[in-house]
Structure 1
Amino acid sequence: MLTCHVSTTSPTPAEAAGREGTWFDLVGDDVGERARVERATGLHLPDREHLGGIELSNRVGIADDALRLGIPYFSADDDAAPSPVGIVLTPRHLVSLRYAPSPAFDLAAERVRASVPGTSTDAFVVLVQSIIGRTADGMEAVAAEGGSLSARIFGDGRRRTSLLRAMLAEIGRVEARLTRMRLSATGLLRIVLALREAPPAWIPKPALARLHAAQKDLDVLCEFDGQLTDKLQFLLDAVLGFINIDQNDVIKILTVASVVSIPPVILAGIWGMNFDHMPELHAPHAYPLALLAIALSIVLPLLWFKRRNWM
């Protein structure tokens, strides 16, 4: 799907070709739409395989007044699998290539259409700010979810193993979301850093100042991501610790049961022996006394374990 964005209007590719500050947003692998953008802009657009490369040469490059930027792993949505995103920026046009719908790109398109007429660099800065804003919102949601998980893990007195297993799976799901956001933020931070270190001459200073502010925002997001990662790791360790405590309780119960069963087995074994001379066998109350002795051999160890707080 191909969409053209300029301030206050959304023209066709043919109408937008001669306008400055036009943003061509190309979604998917449609060869025809790709060719239309290349004819309208005179650019050669990178393919998906090139955008997916993790080396820096595939992320940042400039030739013939065309700045080519790439994010190998960009999460279009919180639950979507990462896919590469490419950006080609020239003094007249901005071209974005992506392979999945993205709320951040939709937000940037709304801001570009609502703004006063600007340049392609202005549209690029708006896009960067929109991605940062969506990533920040996603991390705040992860922080809130982590707080809810913490309250459920430490606030509930009854921590059944089935509930702990469910929380373990939920922590893994939240960590996967955070990882996708981290990939997007770090990929964007690297291209912003590279762009600020060696900017093309045609990028104005106000745009560079806004990119500098965006870099600071990304640095803050990276620090926040580190805090969230530590928090989720702590919750993971806590859940595993509670599961380990439950397992130890089970082992302790089995140990107590095995120890308690030893005395009655010994007594029953002694009185079950076939000796000619066992005086208690001929006593009038020998059988109930034997049962009472076996019962006491069970109760007394249990009382001892309870007194020592072993149960």
Structure 2
Amino acid sequence: MTAPRVLVTRRWPADAEAAMAAAFDVTFNEGDVAMSPQALAEALRSFDAVAPTVSDRLTADLFEGATAKIVSNYGVGYTNIDTEAAKKAGITVTNTPGVLTDCTADLAMALMLSAARRLGEGERELRAGKWTGWRPTHMIGVKPTGATLGVIGFGRIGQAVARRAHHGFAMKVIYFDAYPIPAEAAAAVGAEQRASVEDVLREADFVTLHTTGGAENRHLINAERLAIMKPGAVLVNTARGECVDEAALAQALKDGPIAAAGLDVFEEEPKVNPALMAMENAVLAPHLGSATHSTRVAMGMTALENLKAFFDGREPPNRVA
């Protein structure tokens, strides 16, 4: 029996690629550059399965005439895929949740600490040869230990960040989530629920975003909400770029009330708003949330398991559509 033909849109770690090649008739994007919409549309018409990344936008028009049977997304977020159009075309969609929780939570903490303690600014000053030595008023930042952390989106990653903050830095945790959260999950970190995003923003010294993307959360953090944050607060986003109005954030970083921000995701990746790039008090990372070898391999293996289950006639473990 001929193995199903699979297109992998970007290069994966070697271990994951080898496992994929052993299981399927796989084609890798050897150039490892983003595929055009036309190339993605052709792939959906030519292969049995496509394994895109979160940076590949599979819009409704790309599914017209598609004959692929499954899209196995390499990433937990799937707002890059028009799942309704996929369903109409009879195409299953899966993702890779769970395996990147710890690494993304680690990076959220790294951004929080870097922004609070002005590490980006300090390193740039030092490397430029402008550091004149220690003095009591130099690079004064914000102290995370004992502060209040506001978590917006209290799912797997939000809870993982809360554990690190509460147990590692004695932070008080408050949260908002649009969906019910098991009481034991909140109790494990002493987290207190708030009724709205606004309630979290008014109270928290640090705010970290862990919501889904898409239209419902586009510009979740906008000028109005930034204006009600505490003076000296720090905002962290490792969720989705569209959740933050970058122009409004740049203005808030310039004029207040917030002190700093740490961002791993952006509205129009790989482009970043120039006004945001100009802000010394913004720590900017190039979408590194899951960027450890073990996690990127695990993501590939999870995408592979989804494909194996589907083509074996079993329910894929991570079906989203």
Q: TM-score, normalised by structure 1?
A: 0.25
Specify which structure has the bigger relative contact order, considering alpha-carbon pairs within 8 angstroms and separated by 6 or more residues: 2
Radius of gyration: which is bigger? 1
